[in-house]
Structure 1
Amino acid sequence: MFGLFKRDPVKKLRKIYDSKLEQAMLAQRKGDMRLFADLTAESEALWQQIEQLQKQTAKVNTP
């Protein structure tokens, strides 16, 4: 019941992840390959964090 008002950290990270991917796409379209590579690396690191959080929540929620 008290978990009802907690914010989902995965949802927040997913939003940031999507934003980074969009920025990377725009950088690629402009021809800025260095910025594209940096943003892609950042988004990959975020994806690793998302996966870890999802595994942790799956372990907690399993009976």
Structure 2
Amino acid sequence: MFSFLKPDPLKALRKSYDQKLEQAMQAQRKGDIKTYSLLTAESEVIWQQIEAIQKNQT
């Protein structure tokens, strides 16, 4: 009945994914390739979680 009050896990994951990509871009611009690669790897894990949730919803 009140399902619209439940937080959307996809929304939170997408926000986290976008933040990781932004941080990775900033690290790359500063020339910190090690941090860039770590943040990119973390964002890929988050993206896999997003895809898994989307797959389960359909």
What is the aligned-residue identity percentage? 62
Q: Which amino acid aligns with 2:3?
A: G
Q: TM-score, normalised by structure 1?
A: 0.87
What residue ranges of structure 2 are gaps of 5+ in the alignment? none
Runs (4+) of structure 1 exceeding 4 A deviation are none
3-state DSSP of counterpart to 2:7: coil
Query: In terms of Rg, which structure is larger?
Result: 1
Aligned residues: 58
- Structure 1 residues without counterparts, runs of 5 or longer: 59-63
Q: What's the CA shift for 1:2?
A: 2.8
Equivalent position SS for 1:19:
helix
TM-score (norm 2): 0.94
Q: Distance in 1 between matches of 2:4 and 2:42?
A: 31
- Computed over aligned residues only, the root mean square deviation of the Cα atoms, in angstroms, reads 0.7
The Cα shift of 1:41 comes to 0.1
Please tell me the residue identity of whatever aligns with 2:2.
Answer: F
CA distance in 1, matches of 2:36, 2:4: 38
